[in-house]
Amino acid sequence: MKFCIRKTEMAELMQNDVITATTEALQQYDTEKDICAYLKKVFDKKYGPTWHCVVGHHYGRESQT
């Protein structure tokens, strides 16, 4: 699986946690909503309840209009 983190202010350790948690979520869940909820839960537990998570196939893509 290939991951691309484009813009972030997160430390490298946190970025690695994102990749690990995302891999776990993708193995366990099928819907974007469930994947997002899993990631939010993992990061709330590890880093405190200040996280927002957006998951989607087209999220972050530049418009081609």
* pLDDT the model gives residue 58: 62
Structural domain of 37: 30-54
Q: How many Cα atoms within 13 Å fall on the side-chain side of residue 57? A: 2
pTM equals 0.76
Taking the mean position of all CA atoms in its chain, how far away is CA 39?
6
Residue 47 lies in a domain: yes
Q: Residue 64 gets which letter from DSSP? A: -
Q: Structural domain tally of the chain?
A: 1
Separation CA 17–CA 37 (nearest Å):
15
Residue 40 lies in a domain: yes
Q: Return the percentage of the chain with pLDDT > 70, whole number.
A: 82
What's the rounded mean pLDDT across residues 18-44?
92
Taking the mean position of all CA atoms in its chain, how far away is CA 43?
9
